[in-house]
Amino acid sequence: MAINPQSFFNFAAQNYSLLHDIFRRIGGMNDAELTELIRRHRTGLESPAALIEKLINLKIIEPLPDATASYEMTRTVAILFRFLLQEQRLTSTAVIQAYLDELERSQAALDLAIRDDKHSMIERALDETTETMERIRQDSRANREAIICEVMTVKSNREKRTVSERFEKILHLWKHYLEPLKDLIDVRKTMDSSLDNLERLLRHGSEQFLLDGALHREFSRCSVRLVRLRRDMTADFHESMHEVEPLYASLKQDSSLARGVARALERIGKEGIKSLNLQSELAIHAGRLREGLFDNTDIEAYLHNVRGYQPQEPPVISFGAQQPSHQFIPPDELTDKLLQSLPVNDVLQWILDSYEEYPFPELLRAYGRIFGSDSFSASFSRDEKKYQLPGITVLACPLAVEAIR
């Protein structure tokens, strides 16, 4: 029997605190517990029995299958609460893959309907395609919210979980949700090819029924939804990876360290500290370990040697006989001199001839000022020219400057 939406939402508004408590009872509740909840949150004069009947009629609760006189919130209303409270549950990629298979079936039906020119079948196939795409998009967004919520829980660690336990949670997200989703949205994988085929089919249908206003509009809407689906799935994946990847790397390192320490302590407890062979592993200078401590005599002798150590002056790094030059070509002087020489068919050669006493890096800076300036009408030659300098060979197409703009 259909539910009156207005009655449902009016009841939900008047009894929100009750519904919220029912939602929080994950394992369900027996008749006595539900009655106590109703008495605690009741706002009117209705009896608990009448309210229980309303909850059942509005399909807010239903009997538990494995117990008598016990109830739980229906899945549909629970999903609505999780959406409103941003506490979505994770949807496995196997479910998303099933949606994709369903999308391919709808695509095949749409292709057949277009070929047969059957408008009613086209409309039905477009509706099924749209519904499936929206399910995939909503589940993808719910996964993103659930993953972010899980990451925040692991970071806050209010339950005082160990590093290994927190790492196991993040590893579960990584292996069962992110890596399979990455395979799904990979441009080289089946999903992308399938969505490409659907995009081409929608474009073909839109062109074929261009003169049919209603069908053309439905094809266009479905195409836009497909674009949104691909964009949102990619954004959800990258946002999830942005949250999980740093935490995964950090907890993986901490977990490895914790496991190593635990194994070392277990080995010390069974075989003693000598079993770790720390002297060899840590390369301790002339030292021995005795029950976890350095030998005092060896430490004292070593410290005496350190005390007498005389540091030497660090070696001087030679820069060679040539000292760095501090010569600088003023930009105004360069511009004025170039204006007096216009037209110049080869700017680099002109700079080499005009400032031959300057070092090559400064000549290149001067060339860059002319090349990057908008004040000159300049053009490049097609032929490459070789410029020979002391110890340097430059290959470039000559830059010609004819006039000032």
Instruction: Give 289-335 as a DSSP string.
Output: EETTEE-HHHHHHHHHHHHT--PPPPPPPP--SPPPP-----HHHHH
pLDDT above 70 for 317: no
Which has the higher per-residue pLDDT, 279 or 141? 141
pLDDT band at 286 (very low <50, low <70, confident <90, very high): very low
pTM higher than 0.75: no
Taking the C-alpha atoms of residue 194 and residue 182, their distance in angstroms, rounded to an integer, is 16
Taking the C-alpha atoms of residue 395 and residue 335, their distance in angstroms, rounded to an integer, is 24
pLDDT band at 308 (very low <50, low <70, confident <90, very high): low
Please give the DSSP secondary-structure letter assigned to residue 90.
P
Peptide bond into 315 cis (omega under 30): no
Which has the higher per-residue pLDDT, 241 or 127? 127
pLDDT above 60 for 49: yes
The whole-number pLDDT of residue 112 equals: 92
Cβ proximity of 198 and 286 under 8 Å: no
| Residues, the chain | 405
The whole-number pLDDT of residue 76 equals: 86
The whole-number pLDDT of residue 259 equals: 65
Cβ proximity of 127 and 113 under 8 Å: no
pLDDT band at 264 (very low <50, low <70, confident <90, very high): low
Mean pLDDT of 384-391: 83
Please give the DSSP secondary-structure letter assigned to residue 89.
P
pLDDT above 70 for 156: yes
Taking the C-alpha atoms of residue 71 and residue 67, their distance in angstroms, rounded to an integer, is 9
The whole-number pLDDT of residue 289 equals: 45
Of residues 142, 133, 139, the one with CA closest to residue 223: 133
pLDDT above 70 for 295: no
The whole-number pLDDT of residue 324 equals: 47
Tokens 């216009």, located at residue:
342
Taking the C-alpha atoms of residue 164 and residue 183, their distance in angstroms, rounded to an integer, is 27
Taking the C-alpha atoms of residue 232 and residue 127, their distance in angstroms, rounded to an integer, is 20
pLDDT above 80 for 181: no
Residue 391 phi/psi, 5-degree rounding, is 80, 0
pLDDT band at 351 (very low <50, low <70, confident <90, very high): confident
pLDDT band at 260 (very low <50, low <70, confident <90, very high): low
Which has the higher per-residue pLDDT, 352 or 187? 352
First to last CA, the chain: 83
The whole-number pLDDT of residue 305 equals: 73
Q: Which residues pair with 387 in a beta bridge?
A: 394
Mean pLDDT of 95-124: 87
For the chain, give the longest Cα–Cα distance: 105
pLDDT above 60 for 14: yes
The identity of residue 340, as a single letter, is Q
Which has the higher per-residue pLDDT, 227 or 152? 227
Mean pLDDT of 225-252: 80
The whole-number pLDDT of residue 291 equals: 47
pLDDT above 70 for 311: yes
Task: Mean pLDDT check: name the lowest of 58-67, 179-188, 281-290, 350-359.
Answer: 281-290
The identity of residue 79, as a single letter, is I
Cβ proximity of 70 and 30 under 8 Å: yes
Q: Which helix (H) or strand (E) holds 108?
A: helix 93-116
Most confident of the ranges 132-146, 180-194, 211-225, 296-310: 211-225
Query: To the nearest whole number, what is the mean pLDDT of the chain?
Result: 79
